[in-house]
Structure formats: C-alpha cells, structure tokens
C-alpha cells in the first residue's frame, strides 16, 4: 500500500466531547432563565450542583449502605442543596425559586416507613405447605 492510498486520520476528539452534556448544565440554564441569575450566581450554582452530584454519587456507589439510608441521605443532600441555592439568591429571586419538593424530616427516629418496610408490606406471604 502506498502512502497515497492510506486514508487520512481524523483529528482526535477530546474526552469531554464524547461526554453528553450534564443534567446540571440544563438545570443551571433553566434556573438562570427563571430567576434571572447573574454570571456570579450562575458560577456559584454550577459549583453547588456539581457538589450535589458528587455527594449523591458517593452515597449510591457505597454498597455497604442500606437502601433506606441511601434514600434518606439523598433527600438530605437535596434539602441542603436547596438551602445553598436559596442562600445565594436575592429576596426577589427567593420568591420565584421553588424546589421540586418540600423539605422532609430524615434520619433515625422519623415516623416514615422506609423502603425496607414497604418491601416487607408488599411481599406476598408464602402459604404453609399441607404436610
């Protein structure tokens, strides 16, 4: 094969060009439009959402944690994230900011059923064998 017959090599793509745009980027854009965030607020929001993503990922990638704890820890992270976002907003922006769900009490001693309780309640009892 001659040098002229070798097809040209496509330029290498950076690793980031193969990664789809993060959901956090969409959330920053949506909140920027809804709340009229300035550039400093957008940068701060990006950091808050990135921290949220990393903390939730750490919780869900820890196989030693029970499912009920993962859910309550995720709720706590979401509540903390909403508090951080509120702290960076003006009073007018705070009136418009509406997180997806109201804050909930989490942790031991809360009288909410856990996922494990739900799983136990929905399991069909095994009928006794007639021996």
Does residue 15 belong to any structural domain of this protein?
no
Q: Which domain holds residue 70?
A: 22-95
Does residue 57 belong to any structural domain of this protein?
yes
Instruction: Tell me how far apart the alpha carbons of residues 17 and 6 are, in angstroms, rounded to a whole number.
Output: 26
Q: What is the pLDDT of residue 110?
A: 54
In the chain, the number of structural domains is: 1
Does residue 111 belong to any structural domain of this protein?
no
Q: What is the pLDDT of residue 116?
A: 65
Does residue 131 belong to any structural domain of this protein?
no
Q: In 3D, which of 117, 42, 28 has the Cα closest to residue 72?
A: 117
pLDDT grade for 17, boundaries at 50, 70 and 90: very low
Question: Based on the number of CB atoms within 10 Å of its own CB, is 39 exposed (0-12), middle (13-18) or buried (19 or more)?
Answer: exposed
Q: Which of 2-16, 38-52, 108-122 has the highest mean pLDDT?
A: 38-52
pLDDT grade for 68, boundaries at 50, 70 and 90: confident
Does residue 79 belong to any structural domain of this protein?
yes
Taking the whole predicted model, whether its pTM rises above 0.85 is answered as: no
């Amino acid at each position: 094969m001659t040098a002229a017959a070798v097809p040209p090599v496509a330029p290498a793509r950076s690793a980031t060009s193969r990664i789809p745009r993060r959901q956090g980027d969409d959330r920053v854009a949506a909140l920027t439009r809804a709340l009229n965030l300035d550039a400093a607020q957008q940068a701060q929001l990006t950091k808050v959402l990135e921290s949220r993503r990393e903390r939730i990922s750490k919780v869900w990638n820890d196989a030693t944690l029970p499912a009920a704890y993962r859910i309550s820890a995720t709720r706590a992270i979401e509540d903390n994230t909403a508090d951080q976002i509120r702290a960076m907003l003006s009073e007018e922006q705070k009136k418009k900011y509406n997180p997806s769900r109201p804050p909930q009490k989490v942790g031991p001693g809360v009288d909410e059923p856990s996922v494990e309780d739900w799983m136990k309640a929905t399991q069909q009892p095994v009928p006794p064998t007639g021996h």
